[in-house]
């Protein structure tokens, strides 16, 4: 129980720091989004995608997984740009 309380207090401090420094949060989100976007585009072009356990996913399911990664990467990039502007 004590560990959960300590972790929650630490998260509050980190969240306050990120609220005071939106450039760090926005920049980090943009980098993460670009990595996801780039890996999705690469996997879509190569036709071979890997799932979270490292197994090869090919065919329509592989394309779908690549497109999902591209969409989520773009959404994270948009969030990063929003945080930089706001």
- Does the pTM surpass 0.85? The reply is no
Q: Copy the structure tokens of residue 72.
A: 């989520």
Please tell me the predicted confidence (pLDDT) of residue 30. 96
| Region 49-76 average pLDDT | 92
Q: For residue 59, is pLDDT > 70?
A: yes
Supply the DSSP symbol for 79: H
Quote the CA–CA distance of 79 and 2 in Å, as a whole number: 34
Give the Cβ contact number of residue 83 at 10 Å.
Answer: 18
CB atoms within 10 A of CB 64: 12
Q: Distance (Å, rounded) from C-alpha 28 to C-alpha 17?
A: 14
Q: Would you say how long the chain is, in residues?
A: 86
Q: Quick check: 78 and 84 in contact, CB under 8 A?
A: no
């Amino acid at each position: 129980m004590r560990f959960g309380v300590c972790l929650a207090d630490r998260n509050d401090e980190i969240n306050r720091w990120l609220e005071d420094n939106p450039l760090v949060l926005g920049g980090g989100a943009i980098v993460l989004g670009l990595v996801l976007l780039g890996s999705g585009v690469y996997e879509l072009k190569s036709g071979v995608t890997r799932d979270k356990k490292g197994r090869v996913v090919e065919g329509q399911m592989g394309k779908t997984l690549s497109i999902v990664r591209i969409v989520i990467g773009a959404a994270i990039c948009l969030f990063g740009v929003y945080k930089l502007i706001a």
